[in-house]
Structure 1
Amino acid sequence: MKTARRWGRLVSVLVTSLSVLTMSGMAVGVLLGSFADKAALACDQVPGTPQPFEGKRHIAYSGEEHEPYRSMPPTSGPHSPRVVPPGIYRKPITEELQVHVLEHGHVMLQYAPDVPADVVKEIERLGRQYPRDVVVAPYPKLGRGIALSGWQRSQRLDTLDEAAILAFVKAVPGRYDHQWRNGATDCLPPHPPAEGEN
């Protein structure tokens, strides 16, 4: 009986030690991955279309009135103080939460109500390949097709285009995370100064 208890304790200690080592290794991997100092892609290599900056003001609560977004889906602007983590969602995410997701350096991969269920499964499969970077969700406002959005960047697709989706979700996450990172910019052409501006 004593031998069985000793073996039980030994196995318990061994399993606990292996669990701690595995989790520690994963944490180091996440930290190293998220702080990688790779140079940003040149603007002509970033998929999608650059969008104007609409601010990054936090609103007090979801549903609070604010100026309307100028792009659909939104790519910057007023947003909720709450944030949703990357993952697969089966219900729409409010635009105020979408913008906060983007401010954290993630991308939204959203689909309209007309997208067939088998295509939604493929979209979700693609999103699962990037569990730290992508939020997949329905977006009824789209009306049709698929939309990808990152901070000040968007791309619309009429049909499933796996290569285009993968190009976006590989290139856009992390370019912006509360600020432009590693030399990334909004990629908008410089505008001439307005009258009276120096």
Structure 2
Amino acid sequence: MSRRWWGTLVSVVVTTLSVITMSSLGAGVLLGLSREDRALPCDRVPGTPEPFEGNRHIPYEGAPHEAYRTMPPTSGPHSPRVVVPGIYRDPVPEELQVHVLEHGHVLVQYAPDVSADDVRALERLGRRHPRDTVVAPYPALGHGIGLTGWQRLHRLDTLDEQAVEEFISRVAGRYDHGWQDGATDCLEP
């Protein structure tokens, strides 16, 4: 076989594979556009809906502001800084917690009475959702586990891994500087 023939064959194969690949990607995009991503109905979102407490930035951490109405906070005045999702061994200040929520993330926080084994389980759950979750201690909680999303709160007396997984999966991303994909605060009008 001549080099010319091999060159032609390789060109045809590469072109064919390229067309197939691009066609597959295009079909995937079109199918994605035709599929309407909608938020879960409120009765399928875990936790309790909480009233909007504002979303203004305070000038610096520790600046005076209105007290939060929920423990942990679910909205309200917050720091202009934000922490990235991940596992934290130190408490995250409340003003940073709220900014994390404003970006659509979920906080999984635990009180001092939560066992080391349960903390490891919470961290493992957080690692399953590395873009969506902040896991941290929260001594002010006093007891148990607090799960928060923007205007959403779920408290657990003891670890329920399924409930934590469900909260993260269903609440993360519902809000990101505004309600996403038809989500609402789920408060009765």
What TM-score do the two structures reach when normalised by structure 1?
Answer: 0.77
Shift of 1:118: 1.0
SS for the counterpart of 1:128 is helix
Q: Deviations over 1:140-181 (max 9, x none)?
A: 011010010000001000001011001000000110000001
What residue ranges of structure 2 are gaps of 5+ in the alignment?
1-28, 30-34
Q: CA separation in 2, counterparts of 1:37 and 1:127?
A: 28
Give the Cα–Cα distance (whole angstroms) in 1 for the partners of residues 84 and 53 of structure 2: 23
Map of 1:67 onto structure 2: 66
Aligned pairs (5 A) from 1:171-182:
171-182=170-181
Matched, 1:139 2:138: yes
CA distance in 2, matches of 1:123, 1:172: 16
Code of the aligned partner of 2:71? M
Backbone CA RMSD of aligned residues = 1.3
Q: TM-score, normalised by structure 2?
A: 0.81
Q: Could you tell me which amino acid in structure 1 is paired with residue 56 of structure 2?
A: R
1:161 corresponds to? 160
Matched residues in 2 for 1:155 and 1:176: separation? 16
Tell me the residue number matched to 1:46: 45
In the TM superposition, what are the counterparts of 1:15-26 in structure 2 within 5 Å? none
Please state whether the residue corresponding to 1:60 is helix, strand or coil: coil
Rg comparison, structure with higher value: 2
Query: How many residue pairs end up in the alignment?
Result: 156
The share of aligned pairs that are identical, in percent, is 70
In 2, distance between residues paired with 1:125 and 1:95? Answer: 23
Task: Describe how 1:184-195 pairs up with structure 2 within 5 A.
Answer: 184-190=183-189
Q: Which amino acid aligns with 1:63?
A: G
User: Runs (4+) of structure 1 moved beyond 2 Å?
Assistant: none
